[in-house]
A and B are shown apart, each in its own frame.
Chain A
Amino acid sequence: MNAHTRPADPAKLIKGATGDWEIIIGMEIHAQVSSKSKLFSGASTEFGGEPNDHVSLVDAAMPGMLPVINAECVAQAVRSGLGLKAEINLTSVFDRKNYFYPDLPQGYQISQYKSPIVGEGEVIVDMLDGSRFTVGIERLHLEQDAGKSLHDQHPTMSFVDLNRSGVALMEIVSRPDLRSADEAKAYVTKLRTILRYLGTCDGDMEKGSLRADVNVSVRRPGEPLGTRCEIKNVNSIRFIGQAIEYEARRQVDILEDGGVIDQETRLFDAGKGETRSMRSKEEAHDYRYFPDPDLLPLELEEAYVEELKRGLPELPDEKKARFVESFGLSSYDAAVLVAERETADFFEAVVAKSDGGARDGKAVANWVINELFGRLNKEGLAVTASPVSAAQLGAIIDLIGEDVISGKIAKDLFEIVWSEGGDPRQIVEDRGMKQVTDTGAIEQAIDAIIAANPDKVEQVKAKPTMLGWFVGQVMKSTGGKANPQAVNALLKAKLGIE
């Protein structure tokens, strides 16, 4: 699927004064490689630290210093490529991208220009409405990050922090296959999920581990591509959506006023929610790319790639399919669970019984998604920090399944475990939370209620839906512990409704 073959979806068009417009979006994602040391030096990649704490002689571009490729970064790039179902190029070349900037010590960035390590691949994106589309990946290449210029430390000077200088980035270039801000956001979310599954990028956008350059253009449906603008360095998924919406509207307004779009690089101002011009095509750098003579071409062996492939974890698409297949989950529930590897792992840990058996996947999904996630979100906690462990949640679900407690009591039990901890089964025992299935005890309660409410007995015979009132009364008198099915059945028999 690409810009020319994907038909315009009327639902995604934006309305202009003169008719509908289609938005075409392509993205370049910069994902920081998870590695201990930098792409070409032994300096630490640790986030934070005092400025210039993690800087080697190579990172500072001292005279005579030479880059040496970090094998782990190469492996991470290959893993990422495999995760994107992409072609791995057994020979790739590092080039120098030349430009002057104070936070670029070498005066060039080592990147891959003509021969990237990873070629074409794809990402399948599921939308909340159940629709799905495929985004073509054009390439993934390795490159160095730059340092950071600090302009707020001195009245007339700028300071430079080289801690990030030389950190490995993967630039992942998509085809212009995206058609709306929502699609773009869903794509980045999915890409982030895949990289986090692979362990090749932590996806922490707040720390700058994932940044997007967003290319936006608009056109009349069916017409050739319009002139695009590139919005640089957008660092949150929400901002990506805002930037696209603003930029598409800006372009439509210009075109409808009879203007033309200038191909340019723009910046997104998160404060104002707008994009503004950074530099025009004429001001664009001539990067004078050429192969870095300090580095030999990177040659990989087929066996090496195969080895990495064997070590890959199950990826979200496969995991989702398995959840649907093996546990009978809805596609939606499965998608929610696999969005993070940790939640999928938690779900599977709840499903697995200690005796090797399995709990009912649907029931588990229900509890994990509705109760657990609901509670975690409320407290702003990650699933890995959940106060209720998988084993505890599994025990709660078992108690429901065994008719020991009702669903309602289970929620109370969940609260107790959440705040106090402990073995759920023991808590039920100690606090007398067991469900009453003893029909004698329930009958007694029913008889008492029938005796005390002759008027209601009359009414229910005329209007069977009144049964709910009786159920409520019985539950109340049994402290919620009566088995609701038993209550229902007995009430119907005693009141003589079918």
Chain B
Amino acid sequence: MTDLTDLTLTEARDGLLSKRFSATELTKAHIAAVEAARSLNAFVLETPEHALDQAAASDARIARGEAGPLEGIPLGVKDLFATKGVRTTACSKILGNFVPSYESTVTSQLWRDGAVMLGKLNNDEFAMGSSNETSAFGPVVNPWRREGSNLQLVPGGSSGGSAAAVAARLCLGATATDTGGSIRQPAAFTGTVGIKPTYGRCSRWGTVAFASSLDQAGPIAKTVRDCAVLLTSMSGHDPKDSTSANVRVPDFAAAVARGVKGLKIGIPKEYRVEGMPAEIADLWQAGQDWLKSEGATIVDITLPHTKYALPAYYIVAPAEASSNLARYDGVRYGLRVPGQNIVEMYEKTRAAGFGPEVRRRIMIGTYVLSAGYYDAYYLRAQKIRTLIKRDFETVFQAGVDAILTPATPSAAFGLAEMQTASPVEMYLNDVFTVTVNMAGLPGIAVPAGKDGQGLPLGLQLIGRPFDEETLFAAGQVIESAAGRFVPPQAWWA
């Protein structure tokens, strides 16, 4: 029998249903992999007993012929999702040992469908970061290394734990969240597939908020098909989230093999940024060629307001965050550092509880919402957002089915390599991904090649609102052409 952790989610599901192995066996194999990979720091909390209980229940359901769509599938959960009775911290000291009495809608749907939880995954503190280095639990190490180098690389962020765990074969899939690229960038950095669905596709209820108008949950998995299977379970209207869309959830997996024949794929000239490395440009071209050879038409398009997206994003997201994080005040739960009076308690608690990047964004957000600055910053950023949205609408109205871009401006970089860089340089990691959040559109990152040092690189496909199906179909074409990207050896174990 092949190593159970080498299987894709879809393969594992087939194996379970044909009883080639049990959910308990599959779970045990992954628990062992998780334990052996602690040096990657992908998991911030392991829940093996919980996993084995769930696996046993799955085996019983499989035996009764009552298997759900994700029956017995071991998954990791980003620590932003509230898990009932299981510590949830958003990887921030301010939540301390917070244990929710409730389960997020997204994860509850996964358990409903039979999935097994291996534990909670590391992420940038409150999902604020692009390298998973802002986590209170320390950074995650990318299972990929440059050829001939032992230098530790970042897995990207903020869903760095999710991406690293999937790439390192510690779980068959993971939940993640994406506010400006937090699913797609780490997926690209680790050779995994990640999709941020349309805003409103997945409920935000029970997920720790970063920027409410941008946050969306989505899966990271080994293949396009696995992502489709996971997203089907994670999606759906939730009356507890007023921004959740009351639209039909298709069986996304059914769209994976649809092909791209007759589709019109747009190539936005604004994404050809100055100083783009040749290997990224080449990868982008390769993607176009693969889609074209499968019957798609490639068209040049323009999204004229793209260059304003990043600065506008870094106003809107911190503004919402500054307000969303006000509830972490030491009064009701989480960390409390006592003070002589309430103001001192607030100040000491929040100074001790939030890391530097979170503090920076709270300060930026507070500033841009202040009287006298609101119009100049927040209001203008919202206007830009409308223009960005309109750019996309114009293109889609002209018949474009999906847009192809690079996922990131570079491959994974070294741990602490950006330490001396300005925050803005780190923010540039999101340059290709933030537009999608600003417009509320779906975007998928699919690994498509390697850079000169053997590190995976990803392409991004952007779709119409609620048309994730086209992204899965086109993503599959890229995956089929480029092949899968698996770290060469488990050097961490």
Q: Is B212 an interface residue (CB 8 A)?
A: yes
Q: How far is it, in angstroms, between the C-alpha of A329 and the C-alpha of B338 when the chains are bound?
A: 67
Q: Most chain-A CB neighbours within 10 Å: which of B101, B104, B242, B333?
A: B242
Pairwise interchain contact A67-B332, C-beta atoms closer than 8 A: no
Pairwise interchain contact A64-B208, C-beta atoms closer than 8 A: yes
Q: How far is it, in angstroms, between the C-alpha of A386 and the C-alpha of B102 when the chains are bound?
A: 50
Chain A positions within 8 Å of B242 at CB level: 66-69, 294-296
Pairwise interchain contact A288-B333, C-beta atoms closer than 8 A: no
Q: How far is it, in angstroms, between the C-alpha of A295 and the C-alpha of B241 when the chains are bound?
A: 8
Q: Besides A63-B90, A100-B326, 11 other CB < 8 A contacts?
A: A64-B209, A66-B205, A66-B240, A68-B239, A96-B323, A98-B326, A101-B342, A105-B331, A160-B332, A288-B369, A293-B243
Interface residues of A (CB under 8 A from B): 57, 60-69, 96, 98, 100-102, 105-108, 158, 160, 286, 288-290, 293-296
Q: How far is it, in angstroms, between the C-alpha of A227 and the C-alpha of B241 when the chains are bound?
A: 44
Chain B positions within 8 Å of A98 at CB level: 322-323, 326, 369
In the complex, chain B residues 188-212 whose Cβ is within 8 Å of any chain A Cβ:
204-209, 211-212
Q: Is B319 an interface residue (CB 8 A)?
A: yes
Pairwise interchain contact A63-B88, C-beta atoms closer than 8 A: yes
What residue in chain B is nearest A61 (Cβ atoms)? B327
Pairwise interchain contact A63-B208, C-beta atoms closer than 8 A: yes
Known A66-B242, A286-B370, A295-B242; judge A160-B331 contact (CB<8 A). Answer: yes
Pairwise interchain contact B374-A290, C-beta atoms closer than 8 A: yes
Q: Is B427 an interface residue (CB 8 A)?
A: no
What residue in chain B is nearest A102 (Cβ atoms)? B331
Chain B positions within 8 Å of A294 at CB level: 209, 212, 242-243
What residue in chain A is nearest B346 (Cβ atoms)? A100
Q: 24 A-B Cβ contacts within 8 A?
A: A57-B101, A61-B327, A63-B82, A63-B90, A63-B95, A63-B98, A64-B81, A64-B205, A64-B208, A65-B206, A66-B240, A66-B242, A102-B329, A102-B342, A105-B331, A107-B325, A107-B329, A288-B370, A288-B374, A289-B374, A290-B369, A293-B320, A294-B242, A295-B243
Q: Is B485 an interface residue (CB 8 A)?
A: no
A39 smallest CB distance to B (angstroms): 13
What residue in chain A is nearest B200 (Cβ atoms)? A296
* Interface bits B63-102 vs A (CB < 8 Å: 1, else 0): 0000000000000000001100000101000010010111
Q: How far is it, in angstroms, between the C-alpha of A409 and the C-alpha of B331 when the chains are bound?
A: 68
B81 smallest CB distance to A (angstroms): 8
Q: Is B297 an interface residue (CB 8 A)?
A: no
Chain B positions within 8 Å of A286 at CB level: 370-371
* Interface bits B241-269 vs A (CB < 8 Å: 1, else 0): 11100000000000000000000000000
Chain A positions within 8 Å of B211 at CB level: 293
Q: Is B10 an interface residue (CB 8 A)?
A: no
State which of A105, A107, A160, A293 has its C-beta within 8 Å of the C-beta of B213.
A293
Pairwise interchain contact B104-A60, C-beta atoms closer than 8 A: no
Chain B positions within 8 Å of A158 at CB level: 342
Chain A positions within 8 Å of B413 at CB level: none
Q: How far is it, in angstroms, between the C-alpha of A290 and the C-alpha of B95 when the chains are bound?
A: 26
Q: How far is it, in angstroms, between the C-alpha of A158 and the C-alpha of B342 when the chains are bound?
A: 9
Q: Is B366 an interface residue (CB 8 A)?
A: yes
Known A158-B342, A288-B369; judge A64-B323 contact (CB<8 A). Answer: no
Chain B positions within 8 Å of A290 at CB level: 319-320, 323, 369, 374, 378
Q: How far is it, in angstroms, between the C-alpha of A69 and the C-alpha of B322 when the chains are bound?
A: 23
Q: Which 10 A-B pairs have the closest CB atoms?
A: A107-B326, A288-B369, A293-B212, A293-B213, A61-B327, A64-B206, A63-B208, A286-B371, A102-B331, A64-B82
Q: How far is it, in angstroms, between the C-alpha of A66 and the C-alpha of B213 when the chains are bound?
A: 12
A410 smallest CB distance to B (angstroms): 61
What residue in chain B is nearest A63 (Cβ atoms)? B208
